[in-house]
Structures are given as structure tokens and as C-alpha cells.
Amino acid sequence: MSAAKPQGLISPPPETPDELYEHAPCGYLTTQADGTIVRVNATLLGMLGKPATQLLGQRIQNILTPAARIFYETHCAPLLAVNGRLNEISIDLARGVDGPLPTLMNWRAVDDGDGRLLGYRIMIISAIERVAYERELLAERERARQQEAMVRELNADLERRVDARTADLVQAQKMESLGQLTGGVAHDFNNLLTPMLITLDLLSTRYVTDERALRMTKSAISAAERARVLIARLLAFARRQHLKARAVDLTQMTQGMQELITQSLGPLIRLDVQIDPDLPPALVDLNQLEMALLNLCVNARDAMPEGGTATIAGDTVTIRSQGDLAPGQYVRLSVSDTGTGMDVDTLRRAAEPFYSTKVTGKSTGLGLSMVHGLAAQSGGRLVLESTPGHGTTATIWLPVDLSAASVAEPAAAVRAPLPALSILLVDDDDLVRFAAAEMLVDRGHTVVQASSGLEALEALRRHPAVDLLITDYLMPGMTGVECARIARMSRPGLPVLLVTGYADIKDVDAGGLPRLAKPFNVDELSAMIAEALGAGGSRPLKSSLV
């Protein structure tokens, strides 16, 4: 743009008082102290579409809309009284049939110089466009406010879910660590318990004749037996028990247990069984599952001291993939109660070993831990759901057995007494080996001892007439399975019995060898020897191991 003075433009003449007041580009009026209008300019009359006679002598409140009157009285009047001015007040004037006229007003008090209020000078600008814009702005702000609230709620929800997931993860890691610790401790205790049980067994059956000493020995045996049960539960929780998984018909199993369960629940609790009769068989250890179901029923009873209903239900579900679970079909066996329920924290910790809400002495705190371990080791899981005051449901998920229909429990074979055998006994733990040897000798067998796989192979070479190899599985240098494989190279068909501390080998690793879990007593050992002799010739080690 050129800086030169524009050519041909003439400045307007100075304003006349009439032009400055009457036709100023804004409305203007003067009131007395009580608001009575005494002067008004033409611009305002034009804005309102009214003659001066309709305004003069009126109080200014009377030309406000009803809403504006409240606003004036509640917000403007006190400000005016204290400050003597109002700036940019957004307020509506009444225009009769034309509807409200939104305006912006400035007010200024006029006094006589001594502080006595004479009236007010008021400037008024039409704010129709501005108010329309403000309304849009307000609507936009309201929308933003709602969206912000929504985002805040979503965030809070997300945080809650992350917190819950984190807590679940921490709990899962804790369970894993507890499992490792429990499994390790239980394994070592098992090894200690084995010679104790064997020795006590021998003492009571053979060497102790004094009645008092016999009583003491038997009480030591029963304590050791209890320790064995406790360790078995710990191993179950640690998912390291020796499971004999096979097809189990849940309907049949529950029916078979119904009387026992009813007795356990007591007279105050009604039992309701709802199992789909066409339920496919589950792949699980039957004995362990029976114990688990009984455990859950006892928990249900304890949750309903005033009585109620315990429901055992069974159904199936097919999943793509969920957490640790493989995709496929699962059988679900659940026990629900109508009892006291658990809060979130209790529920989360319920399956921890030794965590119990029951009165001390009433519970081992291992019931749910054992069920949890069994379900997980079987390829399923334990799901606990509870609402305080509305009961608890414990559901065991188990993989469906896809191989064949369920098999009935084989009838225990009638065993013939064992002939006197020449046995090669291998265990790196001297205590276990000595005790087992004592037991075998006591039963009339001849025993050759070895403390490692290599030693055993050497002994086999020196004693070719050995009838049976009994070997520990986990040993330094060479495992029991490796030892058996090499032994059978020179002695094909040699019967082998594998002794395991806990389920530290999978079935396939055992090469189909008969297994005896520590700790064991005389009868269990004899039974497994019989099985090993029976299997020796007909069941060679699987090719992968030979």
C-alpha cells in the first residue's frame, strides 16, 4: 500500500451533539438511582423498535427479559453497588413479539461529587451475532467436556484393567515360584522319607517284638504316612505328582461318589447334580480328580455353615486359545455353593498353598492348591468365581480325551508270591539304597548295590545272573533310564523298575518302564516288582531309547 495521502477523500465534519448522542453507533440511556429511565438515544429506540414515550419513566429492569431481571438482580446489582460500574455484561432486552434482543452493556454510576448516587449512564450494543457465536462455542465446549469425561472414564477403566491384569500376573508368578519351591522341598523330603518308611516298616514287621516298642514304631509309621500325604499334596500343587491320566467319565465318577459327598456335606446342605449325560470323557487321573472333587465339596460345605445348596455341574466348552490353555474342547466340572463368598483379594490368593481363611486346624490350606495343580498338570485349569454374600463356584477345566471311550478301573490282579530274585539296586542316595536293600533282603532276595549308573553296568557285568534292575531315575552322570537302556544292550529283556522322586520325567522319557514313586513301603515295592517282571520280556524299551 502506498504511504501517500489518498487523493480525493474528504474527512467527515466534527460530530454535532445530536449526532454524537442520538445517532451514536451504540444505544445509550441514563437512569436515576432507582433505575428509572430519564434519557434514551435514537439508536436504542431503533434497536428496540419502540418510541421514547414507552421507555421514559420506566425502570430499566422493566425492559429486561424475565431471565435478565434475575441475572441483573443476582449478579449485576451487587457488583454495581460495590464497584459503581459493570463492563461487558451480556444481557437480554425484551422486545415484545420480536423476542429477546441479546446485548452487551457497560454501566457507569454518576454521583454528585460527594458520593451520593444520582443515576447510571448505560451503553448498549446489539450482540445478536456475537451471542449466536457464543452459543456455538458453549455447545462445542459442552461437547468437549463430555468427550473429556468419556476419555477420562475410558482411561480409568483401562487403568483398572491393567491393575487387575498386573495383579493376576504377579499372582501367577508367585504361584510359579511357590510351585518351584514347594516341589523342590517336597522332593528332598521324599528322599528322606523313603528310608524312614522302609526302615520303620521293617522294624515293625520283623525286628521289634516288644509290645511297647512296637506301639511306638507304629505311631512313627503313622506320622511318616501323614508326612507322605502332605508331600503328595505339595507335589500335586507343584504339578509334579505322578499322574495316571486316562479317559474319565465324569457322570459315572460323580455317581460313584455321590454317597460319600452327601455324607461329607452333612444334613444341612442339599446336593444338586447337573451333569450332561453325553459329556465326553476327560483326560485326567481318576483318583486325583475324585480327591479334587471331594475337596471342593468340603470347601462348599465350610462356606455354608447355616446350610444351603451345593451344585455339581458338568459341561463342555471349545476354545480357540485362552491364556495357557491350548485350543480345543474342554470338559468343565464345577462345584457351586450358596455360601459366604470371597472378596477379590481372598479369591486371588485362594489357591496359594497354606493360604486358608478357615479356622486354624480345620484346614491344611492345601485343598485348592492341590486342585489347582492337578488341573494345570492335566492341561486344564482351575477357575474360581465368587461374590461376597452370593457364594463361590470352583470350576476345573480338563482336556477332553480324544483317544477312546473311558475305561473301567482294572481289577486288582491277584498276585502270586514272588520267587527269590537276584536284584541289582541302583541309587545315589545311600540312605534310600541301604533301606531298600534291607527290605529286599528281608523278603528273601539277593541284592547287589550300586551308587551310580556306571557302577551298576560294571556290577551287571560281574553278576550276569541278575534277574531285575531297580534303579533311581535322577542320578548324577547317568539317569536310570539311560542305565537301563545300556544294560539291556548286553541283557536284552532285562526287567527294570524305575524309582522316581517326583514326576520329573514325562511318560515318554520313562520309555514305558514301570515306575515306583518315592516314598514306598514293602507292599508297594513288591507289587511293582511283580509288574516289572511281567513287563520285562514283553515290553522292550521304546525304540527311541534303545
Partner 1 sequence: MTGNANMDVLRRNNLIVSGHGARSIVFSHGFGCDLSTRRDVSPAFEADFRVVLFDHVGAGGSDTLAYQPAKYATLSGYAQDVLDMMTALDLANAVFVGHSVPAIIAMLAASQQPERFASLVMICPSPCYLNDGADRGGFDKADIAGLFDMLDRNFLSWSRATAPAIMGNADRPGLGTALSDSICRMDPEIGRRFARVTFLSDHRADLPKLGTRSLILQTGADMVAPISVGEYVADTLRDGTFVMMQATGHWPHMSAPAETIDAIRHFLAA
What residues line the site for partner 1 (CB under 8 A)?
34, 59, 61, 64-75, 77-79, 81-83, 88-92, 100, 102, 131, 134-135, 137-138
Measured CA angle at 144 (ends 139, 150), to 5 deg: 130
Rg (CA), the chain: 46
Based on CB atoms, which residue is closest to partner 1, 136 or 430? 136
Based on CB atoms, which residue is closest to partner 1, 72 or 330? 72
Which string of DSSP letters, residue by residue, matches 46-110?
Answer: HHHT--GGGTTTSBGGGGB-HHHHHHIIIIIHHHHHHHSEEEEEEEEEP-GGG--EEEEEEEEEE
Based on CB atoms, which residue is closest to partner 1, 104 or 533? 104
Based on CB atoms, which residue is closest to partner 1, 19 or 34? 34
User: Coil, strand, or helix at residue 282?
Assistant: strand
Based on CB atoms, which residue is closest to partner 1, 70 or 402? 70
Based on CB atoms, which residue is closest to partner 1, 106 or 251? 106
Smallest separation, CB 133 to partner 1 (Å): 10
Strand partners, 335: 312, 394
Smallest separation, CB 69 to partner 1 (Å): 4
Query: Measured between alpha carbons, how far is 271 from 102 in angstroms, rounded to an integer?
Result: 75
Smallest separation, CB 329 to partner 1 (Å): 49
- For residues 92 and 101, the answer to whether their CB atoms sit within 8 Å is yes
Query: Measured between alpha carbons, how far is 292 from 88 in angstroms, rounded to an integer?
Result: 79
| Helix locations, 238-382, DSSP H | 250-265, 286-303, 344-349, 367-377
Smallest separation, CB 43 to partner 1 (Å): 23
Smallest separation, CB 84 to partner 1 (Å): 9
Smallest separation, CB 93 to partner 1 (Å): 12
Smallest separation, CB 388 to partner 1 (Å): 25
What are the φ and ψ backbone dihedral angles of 70, each rounded to 5 degrees? -60, -45
SS3 track for 378-399? CCCEEEEEECCCCCEEEEEEEE
| Integer angstrom CA distances of residue 34 from 53, 55, 81, 89 | 19, 15, 12, 19
Based on CB atoms, which residue is closest to partner 1, 59 or 542? 59
Nearest to 282 by CA among 394, 396, 359, 418: 396
Q: Which amino acid is at 72?
A: Y
Nearest to 332 by CA among 313, 311, 319, 351: 313
Based on CB atoms, which residue is closest to partner 1, 34 or 523? 34
Which H or E element spans position 362? none
Smallest separation, CB 358 to partner 1 (Å): 39
Smallest separation, CB 336 to partner 1 (Å): 37
Smallest separation, CB 129 to partner 1 (Å): 13
Based on CB atoms, which residue is closest to partner 1, 61 or 171? 61
| Integer angstrom CA distances of residue 396 from 80, 129, 268, 375, 497 | 76, 70, 25, 6, 33
Smallest separation, CB 74 to partner 1 (Å): 4
- CA distance between the termini of the chain: 102
C-alpha cell at 379: 492341561
Based on CB atoms, which residue is closest to partner 1, 111 or 343? 111
Q: Where are the beta strands (DSSP E) in 403-530?
A: 422-426, 446-450, 468-472, 496-500, 515-517
Based on CB atoms, which residue is closest to partner 1, 31 or 182? 31
Based on CB atoms, which residue is closest to partner 1, 72 or 107? 72
Smallest separation, CB 88 to partner 1 (Å): 6
Write the DSSP symbol of residue 415. Answer: P
In sequence order, the 6+-apart residues with CB closer than 8 A to the CB of 404 are 247
- For residues 351 and 368, the answer to whether their CB atoms sit within 8 Å is yes
